[in-house]
């Protein structure tokens, strides 16, 4: 047997390094939950309340409020908050007079003179409707669960479809719109369109639809206006209102005297500190077992405090480097993003790319243009032109579509040619991809 000695290098992560990496990728909510859990498990850890804002903090808060007032990105949410002040707007929600779709239908069924079994079937099917008021399951599949014959459930469904709101209990969109039109006494072109031509109507193929139905194109346009006035989701008005999820930005970018300034926004986070009581006990208790136990707990808190501070410093450094690279976006309302990779920030700060990735994970930044995830500012370089980002090309694509003749909108190929004239060399497939990401319909869908 031959014995050999070899020398090799291995990189092993210490518990402290693992803890730092773990805290760095935590969002603000996850960090707060971690601190709360640590205090519950470790008697040597204490949380301090967020410090009250001093003069400098009050100035930062005032400037952040000014940003929020100028924020066009989230203006729709301000309107929603104003709606909360209207007591009538809360009717049908958890904050007002709760009236679900099931209760609304049940009250109507109680006044019905239909046979008992049919009423039972209708009541069962009412409980199976989705939040839009549709019955997605097949009646045959529901019969066994209801303990009723399929024929009875069919009668119950027919009864359900006569109730208010019109269109409830439909199997699909076509039937939903048909039920509403029949309830209104419509027997003309609009009814024929929802029965046989909804797909052509959605694609605005008016001429082909008129030929198929044997009517004039003007009648198809009138039918379209009639159909657009219908409600495709009759049960949505009764759906429970979802509570909004609020994001607290981790960072804020403000315009200072010497340029853009990046500030951490952590006033809502509690501070972590060592318990003075347990530190005194560690110093004064003569029992070595107690001292050994407290030594481990105190070290754990010290490591956590150091990891939190390191997380704060790394996040701020990454954000400052990011803002320097994307100054055009922050300084101009119409500014575009420059191509930027995680590796660019890592090279500038002399840290590993994975560290930057952890730092930007689920972190948000507030600026004059709105609130954005940090990952938003990393965009790849595309096109043959130098320094062109996908964000910049999308902005140009939006501009071209806004300025086009709506009677003769540009095809994807035409948009590609116009972009090329402006120095943005991309393929037609890329144009189609970006248009779909912007949720813009094709040329046929944009034709007026």
Q: Model's pTM, two decimal places?
A: 0.55
Reported confidence tier of residue 94, pLDDT bands at 50, 70, 90? very low
The answer to whether the CB of 170 falls within 8 A of the CB of 194 is no
Is pLDDT of 162 > 50?
A: yes
- What pLDDT sits at residue 9? 65
In the predicted model, what is the mean pLDDT of residues 230-242? 76
- What pLDDT sits at residue 11? 55
In the predicted model, what is the mean pLDDT of residues 347-362? 89
Which residues are paired to 287 by β-bridges?
none
- What pLDDT sits at residue 416? 84
Is pLDDT of 76 > 70?
A: no
- Kindly report, residue by residue over 223-232, the tens digit of the pLDDT: 888 888 888 8
In the predicted model, what is the mean pLDDT of residues 180-207? 85
Write b or e for each residue in 400-435: b if 16 or more Cβ atoms lie within 10 A of its Cβ, otherwise e.
bbeebeeeebbebebbbebbeeeebebeeebbbebb
Q: How far apart are CA 377 and CA 385, in angstroms?
A: 20
Provide the pairing of β-strand 251-256 with 364-367.
parallel
Is pLDDT of 92 > 70?
A: no
Nearest C-alpha neighbor of 237 from the set 79, 122, 77, 93: 93
- Kindly report, residue by residue over 4-58, the tens digit of the pLDDT: 777 766 656 667 777 778 888 888 888 888 888 988 888 888 888 765 444 445 5
Look at the alpha carbons of 93, 99, 101, 103 in this order and tell me if their dihedral is positive or negative: positive
- What pLDDT sits at residue 238? 77
Higher model confidence: residue 224 or residue 59?
224
Residue that has been written with the tokens 């926004």 in this structure: 265
Reported confidence tier of residue 369, pLDDT bands at 50, 70, 90? confident
**Per-range mean pLDDT, top range of 85-94, 172-181, 254-263:** 172-181
Higher model confidence: residue 246 or residue 289?
289
- What pLDDT sits at residue 80? 43
Q: What percent of the chain has pLDDT over 90?
A: 3
- Kindly report, residue by residue over 415-433, the tens digit of the pLDDT: 888 888 877 788 888 888 8
Is pLDDT of 77 > 50?
A: no
- Kindly report, residue by residue over 280-332, the tens digit of the pLDDT: 888 887 888 888 888 888 888 888 888 889 999 999 999 999 999 888 888 87
Is pLDDT of 204 > 50?
A: yes
In the predicted model, what is the mean pLDDT of residues 165-187? 88
Is pLDDT of 87 > 60?
A: no
In the predicted model, what is the mean pLDDT of residues 108-136? 87
- What pLDDT sits at residue 91? 42
- What pLDDT sits at residue 225? 87
Among 234-243, 250-259, 318-327, 392-401, the least confident range:
234-243
Is pLDDT of 95 > 70?
A: no
In the predicted model, what is the mean pLDDT of residues 356-383? 84
Is pLDDT of 440 > 70?
A: yes
Is pLDDT of 78 > 50?
A: no
Is pLDDT of 233 > 80?
A: yes
Is pLDDT of 118 > 80?
A: yes
- What pLDDT sits at residue 88? 41
């Amino acid at each position: 047997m031959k014995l050999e000695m070899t020398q090799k290098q291995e990189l092993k992560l210490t518990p402290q390094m693992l803890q730092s990496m773990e805290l760095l990728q935590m969002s603000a909510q996850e960090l707060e939950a971690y601190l709360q859990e640590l205090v519950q498990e470790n008697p040597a850890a204490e949380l301090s309340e967020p410090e009250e804002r001093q003069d400098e903090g009050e100035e930062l808060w005032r400037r952040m409020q000014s940003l929020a007032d100028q924020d066009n990105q989230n203006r729709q949410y301000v309107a929603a908050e104003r709606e909360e002040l209207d007591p009538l707007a809360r009717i049908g929600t958890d904050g007002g007079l709760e009236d679900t779709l099931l209760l609304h239908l049940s009250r109507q069924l109680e006044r019905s003179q239909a046979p008992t079994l049919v009423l039972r079937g209708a009541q069962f099917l009412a409980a199976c409707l989705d939040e839009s008021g549709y019955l997605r399951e097949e009646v045959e599949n529901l019969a066994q669960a209801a303990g009723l014959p399929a024929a009875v459930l069919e009668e119950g469904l027919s009864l359900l479809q006569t109730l208010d709101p019109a269109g409830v209990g439909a199997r699909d969109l076509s039937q939903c719109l048909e039920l509403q039109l029949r309830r209104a006494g419509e027997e003309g072109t609009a009814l024929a369109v929802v029965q046989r031509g909804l797909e052509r109507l959605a694609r605005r193929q008016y001429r082909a639809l008129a030929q198929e139905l044997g009517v004039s194109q003007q009648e198809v346009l009138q039918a379209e206006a009639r159909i657009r006035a219908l409600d495709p989701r009759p049960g949505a008005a009764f759906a429970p209102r979802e509570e909004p999820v609020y994001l607290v930005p981790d960072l804020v970018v403000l315009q200072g005297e010497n340029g853009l300034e990046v500030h951490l926004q952590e006033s809502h986070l509690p501070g972590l500190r060592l318990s003075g009581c347990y530190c005194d006990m560690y110093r004064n208790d003569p029992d070595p077992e107690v001292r050994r136990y407290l030594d481990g707990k105190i070290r754990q808190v010290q490591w956590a405090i150091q990891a939190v501070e390191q997380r704060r410093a790394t996040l701020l450094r990454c954000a400052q480097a990011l803002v320097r690279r994307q100054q055009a976006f922050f300084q101009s309302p119409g500014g575009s993003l420059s191509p930027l990779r995680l590796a660019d920030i890592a090279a500038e700060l002399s840290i590993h790319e994975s560290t930057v990735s952890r730092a930007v994970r689920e972190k948000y930044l507030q600026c004059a243009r709105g609130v954005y995830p940090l990952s938003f500012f990393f965009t790849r370089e595309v096109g043959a032109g130098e320094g062109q980002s996908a964000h910049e090309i999308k902005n140009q694509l939006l501009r071209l579509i806004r300025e086009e003749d709506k009677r003769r909108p540009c095809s994807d190929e035409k948009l590609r040619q116009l972009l090329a004239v402006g120095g943005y060399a991309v393929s037609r497939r890329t144009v189609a991809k970006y248009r779909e990401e912007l949720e813009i319909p094709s040329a046929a869908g944009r034709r007026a």
